[in-house]
Amino acid sequence: MGRVVRRTGFAIILLLTVSALTFGAMNLLGDPLFNILGPAAADTTPAGVERIEAARAEYHLDDPLPVRYLRWLGDLVQGDLGVQFSSAGQPPVADLVVERLPRTAVLLVLAQLMATVIAIPWALLAAPRVDSWFDRLSTVSTFLVVALPNFALGVLLKYVFAIRLGWFPQTYTADAPLPDRFHQLLLPALTIALPAAAVYQRLLRDDLVSTLQEEFILMARSKGLSRARILFRHALRPSLFSFVTVFGLTTGALIGGSLVVENIFRIPGLGSAIVEAVVREDFPVVLAIVVVVASVFIVVNFVVDAVYAVIDPRIRR
Amino acid sequence: MAATTTPMLEVDDLRVRFATPAGTITAVDGVSLTLGERESIAIVGESGSGKSVFARTLINLLAGNGTRTGTIKIGGRDIDELSTAERKHFFGVQAAMVFQDPMTSLNPVKRIGAQLTEAMRYHLKMGKEEANDRAVGLLRQVHIPSPEKRMRQYPHELSGGMRQRVVIAMALACEPRLLIADEPTTALDVTVQKAILDLLDDLRAERNMSLILITHDLGVAEGRADRIGVMYAGRLMELATAKDLFADMRHPYTQALLRSIPSTDMASHTRLHPIPGRPPDLLNPPQGCAFAARCRHAQPECVDIKPNLLESSGDHWYACHFPVGTSEGRAALERNETAGVTAAGLPLDEAAEEFV
């Protein structure tokens, strides 16, 4: 119980720090006035100045930065993410997040699932055959996939499977029926999944190789159990630590990586939203997305922590 | 050892070689052995003598870079001639093994119950309930208190002695007729050692099992085994009933081994005699007797010709050209003592021996 409280406190401090730093950074970038008013922000006529003053007052832009941050924080706690500065009519940020988040979320969940489903059997096949041709080929291909830039892999997959073979649509269409949209997300997800799978395979394979040297594996073999059973029932679980740790940490990085993929496959997701927002200096949007991403990251690693205890009874307390 | 029944274990000219980057190592070099039903044998040797490899090979646990020649028959069945279906449920059922270190031989992430019932469910196709009941019975048999509770615990929640009892219970799960215990007490406290050895003795009697006890400690072997085999550099040097071996040892290595270990029978401050030199390099094994370089009896013949394991009298076997307790042996030792050095170049003065 104390552990949960400690972890929650840690998560809150982390969120505060991340959002405060982003808040500061966005204000260093430029005067939000321009984003709210557009070219009118440079209007020096009395009417123009009046509008500028009105906007300053409405958005509290004259207050010192810490005060504005606290005000933003107060709104956030009440569920108000503010308005989009740069969009016509200044709709709520929440609308954008609600529209974009599910796509990226599905994309990433799909990608992590694929990466896991690829990596585990791959590692299980390679580990018992250290330095066999299969293991060597695995090593070479994992390095290849990891070294290949994300966009190159995405373009390559798109060319082969979408353009040449026509198995998948080339782009995402937001108003297509649900099964179609799912189908449209498979190839982008694979683009994200492959490098992640390669990293997971390396880690899992190495851990499996050392687990297989343990005496309890010899004991299991002496019981006359089949190879497959020993791998799945005895070796896999104690070998999951590095994989699970990196799985959690990668989740954060993948959100950044999804940006490129969303671009290649024209998916209007969170990744493209944050790029647009940064370019337009629309900082309520940037802040909202940063907070969402940080929260997801924290939650995932929270879960990873819990998974450790599931894997190994020795760390249960 | 009734001659009419099929022996529990027959090993004929077993050789195990390992391919290493430095060359081929012959870990087991032509071991032949027969073990009767209900019989127990202790294989004694220093580390590196090949005793553990021998034990593991019997139960099909050869490492990937190892190759085996020679035949192994368990319960009359040649393990190389088993059909795929028979093989699947042979090891772990006919023969089972207890390992040295109970701290590492149990899976740390699986409950005791799951590990105990696994082989029964896999080999004997038992249902969960039945296997659980039997596992509790097994834990009771190895004298583990509150077995129902232990079933739900993890290995780290048990002491070393308890864990070794669990390992023994696991080995017994499918009622093997041959139990191989590889240094089962080496990793345990001295106080627990005796209890575990007594337990193995009792279980063997109750279950009519044959037992192979691998140990580096002649003291452990004494009184625990019907017969004792002394292994050195992958070969059996001497094989005799326990009584004969201690009363009438023939091999200078056996003698040296016994003189190097303390015994409770000794007067206090009795000087121990370490064996001079080191075991031979298994990458380049000597041409003659493997022990010649360290042997006080060594003659030119010992350096050149490998002695075979031969039976002298009533089931007492040894591989030595100049055995202890024979006129040839005494003459050889006298010659070496007079010369002050053996044919293999080992100096024999006592002072030199002490500083080895």
User: Which residues of chain B does A214 touch, with a Cβ-Cβ cutoff of 8 Å?
Assistant: 104
Kindly tell me if the per-residue pLDDT of A39 is higher than 80.
Answer: no
Q: How far is CA B272 from CA B81, B221, B263, B296, in A?
A: 48, 19, 10, 16
Q: How do the pLDDT tens digits run along chain B, 356 residues long? A: 444 578 999 999 999 999 989 889 999 999 999 999 999 999 999 888 999 999 999 999 988 788 999 999 999 999 999 999 999 999 999 999 999 888 899 999 999 999 999 999 999 999 999 999 999 999 998 889 999 999 999 999 999 889 999 999 999 999 999 999 998 888 888 888 888 888 888 889 988 999 999 998 888 888 889 999 999 999 999 999 998 898 889 999 999 888 887 776 777 777 778 888 888 888 888 899 999 999 989 999 999 999 999 888 778 999 999 999 888 899 999 998 888 888 888 887 754 444 44
Instruction: State whether residue A291 sits within 8 Å of chain B by CB.
Output: no
Of B89, B91, B105, the CB nearest to A219: B105
In 3D space, the residue among B90, B15, B80 whose CA is nearest the CA of residue B54 turns out to be: B15
Rounded distance, CA B63 to CA A218, Å? 10
Kindly state the DSSP code that residue A42 receives in the 8-state scheme: G
Tokens of A202: 């390396």
User: Which residues of chain A does B104 touch, with a Cβ-Cβ cutoff of 8 Å?
Assistant: 214-216
Residue type, A111: A
Selected for mutation to probe chain B from A130, A216, A312 (highest B CB count within 10 Å) is A216
Question: b or e along B255-289 (b: 16 or more beta carbons within 10 Å of the residue's beta carbon)?
Answer: bbbbeeeeeeeeeeeeeebebbeebbebeebbebb
pLDDT digit string (tens) for A166-183?
888 888 877 778 788 888
Chain A nearest CA to B294, separation (Å): 33
Cβ distance B110 to A226 less than 8 Å, yes or no, reads: no
Chain B nearest CA to A222, separation (Å): 6
Contact status, residue A171 vs residue A266, Cβ threshold 8 Å: yes
Instruction: State whether residue A68 sits within 8 Å of chain B by CB.
Output: no
User: Between A and B, how many CB-CB pairs are < 8 A?
Assistant: 75
In 3D space, the residue among A35, A199, A184, A28 whose CA is nearest the CA of residue A103 turns out to be: A184
Instruction: State whether residue A233 sits within 8 Å of chain B by CB.
Output: yes
pLDDT of A284 reads 83
Residue A286 neighbours by CB under 8 Å, 6+ apart: A22, A26, A274, A277, A278
Instruction: State whether residue A280 sits within 8 Å of chain B by CB.
Output: no
**Cβ neighbours, 10 Å, residue A147:** 10
Instruction: Write the Ramachandran bin of A185: left for phi over 0, alpha for psi from -120 to 50, otherwise beta.
Output: alpha
Instruction: State whether residue A39 sits within 8 Å of chain B by CB.
Output: no
User: Which residues of chain B does A131 touch, with a Cβ-Cβ cutoff of 8 Å?
Assistant: none
Tokens of A56: 């300053």
CATH superfamily, domain at B9-225: P-loop containing nucleotide triphosphate hydrolases (3.40.50.300)
In 3D space, the residue among A258, A245, A212 whose CA is nearest the CA of residue A312 turns out to be: A245
Cβ distance B109 to A223 less than 8 Å, yes or no, reads: no
* Chain position carrying tokens 């050869």: B62
Of A221, A238, A312, the CB nearest to B61: A221
DSSP A187-220: HHHHHHHHHHHHHHHHHHHHHHHHHTTSHHHHHH
pLDDT digit string (tens) for A88-139?
677 888 888 888 888 888 899 999 999 999 999 999 999 998 888 999 999 9
* Chain position carrying tokens 């005060």: A67
Cβ distance A225 to B122 less than 8 Å, yes or no, reads: yes
Instruction: State whether residue A167 sits within 8 Å of chain B by CB.
Output: no
Alpha-helix runs per DSSP H in A148-282 = 150-157, 178-211, 215-222, 227-229, 241-264, 270-279
Selected for mutation to probe chain B from A208, A212, A223 (highest B CB count within 10 Å) is A223
Instruction: State whether residue A220 sits within 8 Å of chain B by CB.
Output: yes
pLDDT of B351 reads 47
Rounded distance, CA A265 to CA A259, Å? 10
Rounded distance, CA B128 to CA B134, Å? 10
The segment(s) of chain B belonging to CATH 3.40.50.300 are 9-225
Instruction: State whether residue B106 sits within 8 Å of chain A by CB.
Output: yes
ipTM over 0.90: no
In 3D space, the residue among A32, A28, A52 whose CA is nearest the CA of residue A42 turns out to be: A52
User: Which residues of chain A does B170 touch, with a Cβ-Cβ cutoff of 8 Å?
Assistant: 219, 223
Residue A313 neighbours by CB under 8 Å, 6+ apart: B108, B109, B154, B156
Chain B nearest CA to A241, separation (Å): 12
Rounded distance, CA B237 to CA B307, Å? 9
Residue type, B275: I
Instruction: Provide, rounded to the nearest whole percent, the portion of chain A with pLDDT above 90.
Output: 28
Tokens of A269: 């997701």
The structural domains of chain A, ordered by start, are 2-92 (no CATH), 94-315 (1.10.3720.10)
pLDDT of B4 reads 57
pTM: 0.83
User: Which residues of chain B does A233 touch, with a Cβ-Cβ cutoff of 8 Å?
Assistant: 110, 118
Rounded distance, CA A261 to CA A104, Å? 10
Cβ distance B104 to A215 less than 8 Å, yes or no, reads: yes
Chain B nearest CA to A9, separation (Å): 30
pLDDT of B354 reads 47
